[in-house]
């Protein structure tokens, strides 16, 4: 799920998420509206704070595989065990 969708699903989520990851609400808003990319250093915190509803892959769709190659391996294992 993208960050914008997650935040719009419940009133107050933006402020709560900002507090949970130690960011300003204005920064979270900018990330959700794709005015600025989510800093790599906060992607894991956002994934944890959203209980996996917004993943690192969702937050960095263009370069997640370069930043977290372990996710590629995990996805390949999951896909091969499902077939």
Question: Over the stretch 27-72, which tens digit does the pLDDT of each residue have?
Answer: 999 999 999 999 999 999 999 999 999 999 999 999 999 999 888 8
What pLDDT does residue 72 have? 81
| 14: containing domain | 3-82
Give the CATH number, domain containing residue 32: 1.10.260.40
pLDDT at 78 over 80: no
pLDDT at 80 over 80: no
- The 8-class DSSP code of residue 62 comes to T
Contact in structure between 58 and 1 (CB atoms under 8 Å): yes
**Tally of domains in the chain:** 1
What pLDDT does residue 73 have? 74
What pLDDT does residue 30 have? 98
pLDDT at 82 over 80: no
The helices-and-strands tally (H runs, E runs) of the chain is 7, 0
Q: What is the pTM of this model?
A: 0.86
């Amino acid at each position: 799920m993208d960050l914008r969708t997650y935040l719009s699903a419940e009133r107050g989520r933006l402020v709560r998420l900002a507090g949970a990851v130690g960011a300003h609400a204005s920064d979270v808003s900018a990330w959700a509206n794709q005015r600025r990319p989510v800093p790599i250093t906060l992607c894991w915190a956002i994934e944890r704070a959203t209980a996996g509803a917004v993943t690192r892959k969702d937050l960095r769709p263009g370069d997640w595989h370069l930043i977290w190659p372990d996710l590629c391996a995990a996805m390949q294992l999951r896909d091969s065990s499902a077939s």
